[in-house]
Amino acid sequence: MAENVSDTPSMNETPTEREPRTVSDIPTVVCDRVDIVYRVNGTGAGRGSATAALNRMLRRKNAEKAAGTRTVHAVKNVSFVAYKGEAIGLIGTNGSGKSTLLKAVAGLLPVENGAIYTDGQPSLLGVNAALMGDLTGEKNVYLGGLAMGMSREEIKERYQDIVDFSGINEKGDFITLPMRTYSSGMGARLRFSIAAAKDHDVLLIDEALATGDASFRMRSEERIRELRQHAGTVFLVSHNNKSIRDTCERVLWLERGVLRMDGPTEDVLAEYEAFTGDKSDKTKAKPKPKPKVAQPS
């Protein structure tokens, strides 16, 4: 089965030869032979021990080696072109470089080789880090919105929508309570609602749909479809094949940092499901040495 995966015709198409689709022909993200390499400091033996640290300091020459700087080649030679109006799913087993690629598209990670060109500033859907648990949900809506670059007026305008969408106030006046008092599901819903409130040119979503209950998930998917119409391009990383099917019409399959397949959702997911389904057989049939370094997740 795997043999015909590597011969997938879509892999050999140039972007310009791609069959006409409902989306426009205006590219929004161009990934040109991108390599991403992580440098991880201090993986050498005994970073924690004082003698090891002293040893490193004394032997300055070998510091790099002794400090155990290791490189992790997380994304290898990936090229693709995303067009305006597309929703693209990124799939692959854990640690295959999906999130890394997304961060690089957002301009938050440097590329080792190649280049990523984007139309405007792609935004990673996620404001978690800007929010503060000690502040009320209300203040966090403002803080998160400002952190994403919205103006105060814009936030004021959308405030009610954000709160309604999150459903935080369905069970009482929770929006005026500090966020640390929220349940994890409520917090995740508010975070998604804040993040999704802004219209983005290129929107990158990392597993965001895994949060909340069934009804919230449906609303989220609905919102992502909306964002797509406003915005342009949406990238979605998910392990949930159903939410990929529901929202994306094109899928990139990354495996060990290599773009293994790029094509319509159904084709790629069919191969992917077959791949993840029978992997135990293949392990027995064709054992391979383990990779030297672990891929980051």
Binding to another protein (CB under 8 A): which residues in 163-192?
178
Distances (CA, A) of 142 to 118, 162, 199: 28, 11, 16
Q: How far is the CB of 214 from another protein (least distance, A)?
A: 27
User: What are the φ/ψ torsions at residue 23 (nearest 5 degrees)?
Assistant: -80, 170
List 107, 138, 159, 241, residue binding another protein (CB under 8 A): 107
Contacts with another protein in 43-102 (CB under 8 A)? Answer: 76-77, 79-81, 93-96
Q: How far is the CB of 71 from another protein (least distance, A)?
A: 11
Q: How far is the CB of 267 from another protein (least distance, A)?
A: 14
For another protein, which is the closer residue by CB, 122 or 167? Answer: 122
Residue from 181, 178, 184 nearest 139 by CA: 178
- 15 touches another protein (CB under 8 A): yes
Distances (CA, A) of 205 to 123, 151, 164, 229, 260: 9, 22, 21, 16, 21
| Binding segment (CB under 8 A) for another protein, from list 168-176, 228-236, 239-247, 250-258 | 250-258
For another protein, which is the closer residue by CB, 122 or 212? Answer: 122
- 137 touches another protein (CB under 8 A): no
Please state, in angstroms and rounded to a whole number, the distance separating the CA atoms of residues 36 and 68.
19
Please state, in angstroms and rounded to a whole number, the distance separating the CA atoms of residues 138 and 47.
43
- 134 touches another protein (CB under 8 A): yes
- 240 touches another protein (CB under 8 A): no
Are 119 and 201 a contacting pair, CB within 8 Å? yes
**Buried residues in 12-43 as b, exposed as e (16+ CB within 10 A):** eeeeeeeeeeebeeebbbbbeebbbbbeeeee
Q: How far is the CB of 215 from another protein (least distance, A)?
A: 27
| DSSP at 228 | H
Contacts with another protein in 22-41 (CB under 8 A)? Answer: 26-33, 38-39
- 211 touches another protein (CB under 8 A): no
- 269 touches another protein (CB under 8 A): no
